[in-house]
Chains A and B, each alone.
Chain A
């Protein structure tokens, strides 16, 4: 009989390590006698990278799985609501240039495609209503800094779909105490000094500085950029994608609010610059702001100047963190009995907050498809590798879409981003199709998609991409239904704008008195 998988060892204690530990411990009942054993080894000296302050709505389901109260999460993690992203100056670079990628689908998206009808209205009446504003009420809420729910809405439920902004450092500490106190995760603070290899090539155990040898059946590498197990021990090659995505540096600052009651912006702001873009994330106590740029196109001095211009006079009092970025991922993610999750697997610029969601998806897949015994682990690994590689490719495609659709001509960075040689073939083919029809579910047939067709619609039509619907005029005769849906959206917009509180007001109320669980 093959050896059962009973003991899981996770190396590294950032968001990746604790989310993975928590999801496996919850699924496999590490807190019970008959559950799997889950151990997390964390170096007491290596600091976590602490980026990744934006999540997807998937984080709500993740926190529910972990058995975490949303009220506690808000109180402990300096968390705020996020309802999507606002992209400024990405298209023309002018001051009034912006579009939204909200978190709600267009009205009735699963049964009716409004895109061609929106196009018709805009081109026939010269009405200047944006795609996202016409088909979804979330842009209007974001523009007014409204919260996505009421104080009477139960935990994790929404009036408008939402994700979070959070303080990654606090989030890690919060998950640590929850995982160790509630979910039965064993926590070892020690430095890993070496890997003990078995004859089979598997990892038999880890040698630590003070805790002796830690044995296990499955080892999960959450060691960040150093990729201690998958990268260093197994020497799995890194596959860069800097030929597609040019970003290779980040400068990050934490900006205090000027006034205590300044609005907490309920979406991620992304403002394009001459050689990259600035992220701006509103937490209750501060903003997290950073400039990701390409050092091929801009010097560090000029980049610092760009960030200073964005932040304003307060900049000179702030300490700037520099983070080198290597865009890309490992060629495979699971080898032998070792799988990498988080930065050890790869990294991409935080343009669509893909870091934390990939951790959630990977950890969830490992937890749900935990191989029963060593005999079937290689098959589990094969599936995991195929799915994860597919997901990385789709994210790279989607990020590149934002750059290649830009019309900016003010720098070589933007012009070179449109060079066909830098565009992945899979993305090029999709765009060929979308010249004549809107992105739909038929374009995305995997069970493991990351971005839905609706996200592509928001970016394409937000950025002024032209689809020529004339070839299918014969099937676009449902104007009345379309008008009903546009009307429904306008009515719901009215209702939510009247009913929902300001983002800061609700968050402060939650921190004071909490949300009800039901």
Chain B
């Protein structure tokens, strides 16, 4: 993984971000991390599921974007093809770092995190796109909007963790085994994803439901259930993509040129 660098007005005065390149970061992300505050928006188009962090075994919330490793079916012909763009796509190439250095070394975000950039991002340059700092070294409105997005993500991660802890504690999760047959007959399995156990939810004591309601978890919980239907839409995207790929491959371009 690349080393992230803390953003600093003195060092990055001339840096610009090309918004057209930002979404390319997500071109091959099959499971896009999402936070609970964006569940209702994301649930309009993505299946919202949980998966386990490979290193810790803890659950994380994701929007399912594809079926195979490295496949993002919402990334089509160089752009993000969805009504809602998840915060984790919008925020590229910025990251929230833990404050480690002394306060004067970092740009003043007004938040308890340090704004960092991925220096190897293709969206970074000095000519095209949005400036980060104005002539006086103050953050531009663009950079401020990025800070806001990261602030939402940082706060959202804690809230999402609290939500998931309740689901685990009350045993409201179940494994989802997806076996998909595509139009061309190919069979695919998606493993390692989890969703709400509707039977367990149905059987849960009213005190549990009330606790979830008081903590504001019910909309997110139902958003997850409703969003499952989008798996069919995702299969349809995959079928369309395969059909198009089939068309492109049929006439061999080298032969038709000769």
Contacts and interface: CB of A to CB of B under 8 A. Distances in A.
A515 B59 CA distance: 11
B171 A516 contact: no
A59 interface: no
How many of chain A's residues touch chain B, expressed as a range? 10 to 19
A518 B55 contact: no
Contacts of A151: 52, 54-57
Interface string A483-518: 000000000000000000000000001000111111
Contacts of A517: 168, 171
A515 B194 CA distance: 15
Given A152-B192, A518-B194, A513 B173 contact: no
A516 B168 CA distance: 8
Contacts of B128: none
B44 interface: no
Residue from B53, B55, B59, B173 having most chain A Cβ neighbours under 10 A: B55
Contacts of A150: 54, 57
B174 interface: yes
Contact of A513 (B56, B175, B192, B194): B56
B84 interface: no
Contacts of A513: 56-58
Interface in B201-241: none
A152 B52 contact: yes
Contact of A518 (B53, B56, B173): B173
Contacts of A516: 52, 57-59, 168
Given A152-B52, A152-B192, A515 B57 contact: yes
A516 B59 CA distance: 9
Interface in A136-164: 150-152, 154
Contacts of B192: 152
Interface in B125-169: 168
A515 to B, nearest CB: 6
Contact of A509 (B57, B168, B175): B57
Contacts of B175: 154, 518
B206 to A, nearest CB: 22
Residue from B53, B54, B57, B168 having most chain A Cβ neighbours under 10 A: B57
Residue from A151, A154, A514, A517 having most chain B Cβ neighbours under 10 A: A151
Contacts of A152: 52-54, 57, 192
Residue from A150, A513, A518 having most chain B Cβ neighbours under 10 A: A518
Given A152-B52, A152-B192, A518 B57 contact: no
A364 B105 CA distance: 66
Nearest to B52: A152
B146 to A, nearest CB: 32
Interface of B: 52-59, 168, 171, 173-175, 192, 194
Interface of A: 150-152, 154, 509, 513-518
14 contacts: A151-B52, A151-B55, A151-B56, A151-B57, A152-B57, A152-B192, A154-B175, A513-B57, A513-B58, A516-B57, A516-B59, A517-B171, A518-B173, A518-B175
